[in-house]
Amino acid sequence: MIADVGMAVGYANEAVSRAESIRGFRLVAGEFTEENGMLTPSLKVRRHAVAEAYKAEIEALYG
């Protein structure tokens, strides 16, 4: 699974400059749903809720 995502990221990075490229990523367990507060009723990501729930993972990417 991680290898597949890594290949997709590599493919996407070919189309953008280094400044725009994805240099690191993490896959998280679970789903984003309205019920767990990660999505709005119109299925938009609630960024604040995601940032709080995955604070440690986000800090690991930028730390």
Domain spans, the chain: 24-63
Q: DSSP string of 2-63?
A: HHHHHHHHHHHHTTS-GGGS-------SS---TTTTSB-TT--B-HHHHHHHTHHHHHHHH-
For 12-21, what is each residue's pLDDT tens digit? 999 999 999 9
For 24-56, what is each residue's pLDDT tens digit? 999 999 999 999 999 999 999 999 999 999 999
pLDDT recorded at residue 20 = 96
**Predicted TM-score of the model (pTM):** 0.74
pLDDT recorded at residue 33 = 97
Residue whose pair of structure tokens reads 């690191």 in the numeric block: 24
